[in-house]
Amino acid sequence: MVARHDRTTDPRLLAALLQARRGTAFFARKLNELTDAELDGDSLLPGWTRRHIAAHIGYNARAIARLVEWAATGVETPMYPSTEARDHEIDFGATLSPIALRHLFDHSAVHLNVEWRDLPEDAWHHKVKTAQGRIVPAGETVWMRTREVWVHAVDLDNGATFADIPAPVLARLLTDITGAWKTRGTDTGLLVKVTDQDPAMTFGDTSAENPTIISGPLAGVTQWATGRGTAGVTARQTTSDTDLTEVPAAPKWI
């Protein structure tokens, strides 16, 4: 039997799909390293166990697949009926047996991958609506999934770190986050500097006279920006030669 391949030939889109698939494989590895009993343990997200993370990632794949189906057919199929329905779905999924929870992740990931693979070239430009109400081309669904699987693999809290996430994913994630801050005006007086990339990366309020400067490697700064810790990150005022004793919390992201 002849192997089936992605219908798109766009090299940028194919590269993005590869990154999403690698992230899915990474999440699968971290999930499979956990014993059934360990699924009951806390995740890095307050109020969520590892079960909640696994359920969220499984149902997220189904939700994104609905957007891809929308792009393919022209029939509107929202990600979720409502925010409340999404939350209820995750809470329910967290109660599934370990084998059912693992099957949810496996089967939903395969389903989404098939939807992506079979989407015609022109349909990738069709517009769909995210759960936040943004109107985006179907191609955006690849990034939506990419950030979910990579970041939540870390949230399983069994050894994965932001240093495991590819630099291009971290860079886009940090760009998205700081862009959201700018849109909301919550980055006033805050300057973010990434110290281990060439060329250097700077985000935030570049016009501030005495900004608080957050600096560190890309992985550390992105971890801080997502609200998941300050390891390797320092903070100081422009007018000071010494670091602040405490790195301030990042503005709200989502």
pLDDT tens string 118-146? 999 999 999 999 999 999 999 999 999 99
pLDDT band at 207 (very low <50, low <70, confident <90, very high): confident
In a domain, 184, yes or no: yes
If asked whether residues 119 and 183 sit together in one domain, one would say no
The region that residue 174 occupies, defined by phi over 0 for left and psi between -120 and 50 for alpha, beta otherwise, is alpha
If asked whether residues 56 and 120 sit together in one domain, one would say yes
Domain limits for position 177: 167-237
Statement: residue 69 has pLDDT above 70: yes
CB within 8 Å of 186: residues ≥ 6 apart: 251, 252
If asked whether residues 110 and 31 sit together in one domain, one would say yes
Q: First-to-last CA distance in the chain? A: 45
What was the pLDDT predicted at 254?
79
In a domain, 4, yes or no: no
Select from 103, 126, 160 the last residue of a domain: 160
In a domain, 247, yes or no: no
If asked whether residues 93 and 148 sit together in one domain, one would say yes
Select from 141, 160, 179 the last residue of a domain: 160
pLDDT band at 3 (very low <50, low <70, confident <90, very high): very low
Statement: residue 54 has pLDDT above 90: yes
Select from 129, 160, 191 the last residue of a domain: 160
pTM for the model: 0.94
Q: Are 64 and 108 in contact (CB under 8 A)?
A: no
- For the chain, the domain total comes to 2
What was the pLDDT predicted at 67?
98
If asked whether residues 124 and 16 sit together in one domain, one would say yes
Mean pLDDT confidence for 207-220: 92
